[in-house]
Structure 1
């Protein structure tokens, strides 16, 4: 995994024609997420995020920790998500209900929530599948109109 995280392509620029995929995970003291896109069947990472929880958040229930991870990532990537389709992967079916409430923050976005259990939604599992089978693409670092 270390080799895959340190060799090209590590991160790709977003392609606004494809939906974003947000995979969040909350442990006892950490929140982690990957923002990515799937072009065909191939996943592409756009950003990796991790954050420690403060002492009060550490005492949250598992469901609240998972919800916190999603809400914090929606805030962090808000500029990417406005006007784009977002697919959120969660291993907590309860979150589907909570996030569909009319007063939920999610109503501001075009969101689809998909259920993935345990190892299927593990951040490390997703990272291990990021390697391309074809020649790596060059990283495009120029801006339009340059």
Structure 2
């Protein structure tokens, strides 16, 4: 604006200013935890990476994300079984978010129960023994992932498959966008039913033929 220039603040300007104030008043993507309320920890382990998402329900019953973590596995860790990789994801979460675990009860959401896996072992290796000691320090309640319905944040960990050549970083763990690849459609041919049976043939986008037949009851 130039000096001595007249400025007329009409309704449009007033509405724009109110919109800016409302936008600035919105909470950030990562919220602050509410003391005394339990936390929700989602963990996942892919083929070459592990990840975790810490969340908490707000007063409206909606989940706010508090913390993201992810890293690639070392060559030795790549040889772990799927449940051991989940244990590794939980240990990784405890080591990096220990102050949250010390102040809150944590509800653990994952496909399998890593704590029960370690505790059910009659003989513990050195690695499992170290993990067991870390799990016992905090109050962690396991809930199967299938029991959590309508949780959009769970999709981040359940179905977020990163390409192997992506570089993971802890600086901005949530900066990557979902990778979407549109595949050409398949064709399906149905030959009707005869002699209490039916057949279906799929033709893939790579021109592969996949025949299927089944008996009708």
Cα distance, 1:108–1:31 mapped onto 2, change above 3 Å: same
Displacement over 3 Å in runs of 4+: 119-122, 124-127
Change (3 A) 1:125 1:54: closer
TM-score, normalised relative to structure 2:
0.49
What residue is the counterpart of 2:48 in the other structure? 29
Compared with structure 1, are the counterparts of its residues 38 and 72 closer, same or farther at alpha carbon in structure 2 (3 Å cutoff)? same
The match for 2:102 is: 82
- How many correspondences in the alignment? 119
Tell me if the contact between 1:89 and 1:115 (Cα under 8 Å) persists in the aligned partners.
yes
Tell me the residue number matched to 1:140.
none
| Structure 2: segments with no counterpart, 5+ residues | 1-25, 121-128, 161-217
Counterpart in the other structure of 2:73: 53
Report the 3-state secondary structure (helix = DSSP H, G, I; strand = E; otherwise coil) of the residue aligned with 2:136: helix
Higher relative contact order (CA 8 A, sep 6+): 1
Q: Distance in 2 between matches of 1:86 and 1:33?
A: 13
State yes or no: 1:123 paired with 2:156. Answer: yes
> Mapping of 1:1-146 within 5 angstroms?
9-39=28-58, 40-93=60-113, 95-100=114-119, 104=132, 105-117=134-146, 121-123=154-156
